[in-house]
Amino acid sequence: MKKYKNLIIVGNGFDRWQNLPTSYENFRLYYQEHIISAAEALGCSFYTVTDKTGKEQKLTAVELIYGDILNPEKLEDEFFWNLEARMDRMNDQAINLHFGRSEEGRKALKKAVSEATLLLRKLFCDWVGTIEIEEKNSGFVFGDDCFVINFNYTDTLEKRFGVKARNDFHIHGSASDLNSIVVGHASHPEKPFSELIEHRFIRSEDPKKGLPRLEGLYAVEAALYETDKHVVDRMDDLCVVFMENGVHMEDIENIYVLGHSFAPADSEYFEFLHAVTWCNCNYEALSPVGHMDMELFGAMLNGNDEALMAGIILNLQYAERHSNRLNPEQEDWFAYLDEGCDDKMPYDEKLSRLAVEQRFWMEQAERTQNKLEKLAEKYGKKVPANCHSILGYMEYVDGGYMERKHSANWHISCFSSEDRKRIKRVTRDLHIKNVKCYQTIDACIGKFAVEGSGNIENPS
């Protein structure tokens, strides 16, 4: 198979460069036009509120849960312009306070949270389905030595840039299969603790003995988990596609990033791609097992109740303080949970974050292992005991690779001077080197211009 030498990474700015209506402003307009009819079609609840001018507004659970639930109104434009960054900003304390501690209130809370996530995803997927791509010659062709990591949902690359479908991997799903679409944040990839909803924690006739507020907290944590991109799962899927298509990391010479904002929700992707295209990469260290604290894992695996309980408490403390991290000035409405508790653990955010991360890597290691076992069935080679990485298994199946001589070069298009400053800062923070920025996408991909098209390379 011909070697892939180039990775092409495209973001939303790429489709907008092609004059396609794919901006989040386009989604905002679609949302405003269709939110009421979509809610009616799905049988969702409506909430009537009075705005600052005294006019009544008909709102859905989306405005209630993703907005200011204590002063509900239509979502501001910024919510849509920064959709992914805003999808993890559910104010769990305010939501719990609004619905109250009664059983009826908790049921209403769970229903509202469920409807909010359902409606937002439904409208986003429906909007993606309306985007039509006209087939035409763009003046550029990405050949068979190029593999595309596509952050968009469209087939622009196939219709305008000569890319074969097998070389165009939609890492967040495709408009051709709306069920595959992934949209969300990247800050809650671990499942909420089941202990939050176990009988001994929250089910009690006496509110002073039970912790009914934790049921509402669990509902919000579950929604945050469901709306997370689960970036590591997406990267595992990408590595499986690499393996199936013969994309070897040591062969990649150039990485072209076109129209991508390098937003925080996607930073892990770039950190990973930089690591696996750098000299002396250790695939095993990048695996979920490579991120695990094996001493802590061993203690929990061997039934160390003290270590397990400490982990549970740290995770609960971290979950309780989600709203406080969004707004440190906000009063802690969950403080009552610690009242009368003599043996409570002092809160340490750094330690709590570490406990959450370790629990996530344990969960992720199991999911990655399941993918490895499926690959072992396909390729007829057992997964070695010391292999926990899909790229590592790929190397094992192929009998080893040639050592990389030079790290890959990065070519990045920048939309504006502010865009350039942010991208340079992000790439520096991610330790991405060998970077060249370009004023336009045309300039960034000048080497792929079709002769006679008038497109030229002009690095800045």
Q: Which amino acid is at 183?
A: V
Q: Which amino acid is at 166?
A: R
Residue 255, CA distances (Å) to 130, 295, 341 in order: 31, 38, 55
Q: What distance in Å separates the CA atoms of residue 83 and residue 79, rounded to the nearest whole number?
A: 5
Q: What is the 3-state secondary structure (H, E, C) of 83-124?
A: HHHHCCCCCHHHHHHHHCCCHHHHHHHHHHHHHHHHHHHHHH
Q: Which residues of the chain have pLDDT under 70?
A: 1-2, 195-212, 296-304, 332-345, 452-460
Buried b (16+ CB within 10 A) or exposed e, 182-201: bbbbbbbbbebbebbbeeeb
Q: Which pLDDT does position 300 carry in this prediction?
A: 55
Q: Which pLDDT does position 457 carry in this prediction?
A: 46
Whether 131 contacts 446, CB under 8 Å: no
Residues in the chain, overall count? 460
Q: What distance in Å separates the CA atoms of residue 324 and residue 311, rounded to the nearest whole number?
A: 20
For residue 302, the surrounding DSSP H or E stretch is none
For residue 132, the surrounding DSSP H or E stretch is none
Distant-in-sequence, close-in-space partners of 264: CB < 8 Å, separation ≥ 6: 85, 186
Q: Which DSSP state fits 131?
A: -
Q: What distance in Å separates the CA atoms of residue 288 and residue 210, rounded to the nearest whole number?
A: 36
DSSP string for residues in 306-341: HHHHHHHHHHHHHHHTHHHHH-TTS--TTGGGGTT-
Dihedral angle at the C-alpha atoms of 95, 98, 103, 104, nearest 10 degrees? -110
Q: What distance in Å separates the CA atoms of residue 408 and residue 398, rounded to the nearest whole number?
A: 22
Residue labelled with tokens 């001589």: 405
Tens digit of each residue's pLDDT (9 = 90 or more) over 16-66: 999 999 999 999 999 999 999 999 999 999 998 887 777 888 999 999 999
Distant-in-sequence, close-in-space partners of 268: CB < 8 Å, separation ≥ 6: 186, 231, 232, 235
Whether 330 contacts 95, CB under 8 Å: no
Whether 150 contacts 160, CB under 8 Å: no
Whether 61 contacts 84, CB under 8 Å: no
Q: What distance in Å separates the CA atoms of residue 328 and residue 333, rounded to the nearest whole number?
A: 12
pTM across the whole model? 0.89
Q: What distance in Å separates the CA atoms of residue 425 and residue 420, rounded to the nearest whole number?
A: 9
Q: Which pLDDT does position 56 carry in this prediction?
A: 85
Q: What are phi and psi of 271, to 5 degrees?
A: -60, -40
Q: Which pLDDT does position 200 carry in this prediction?
A: 47
Distant-in-sequence, close-in-space partners of 286: CB < 8 Å, separation ≥ 6: 272, 275, 276, 389, 391
Q: Which pLDDT does position 459 carry in this prediction?
A: 41
Whether 434 contacts 411, CB under 8 Å: no
For residue 254, the surrounding DSSP H or E stretch is strand 254-258
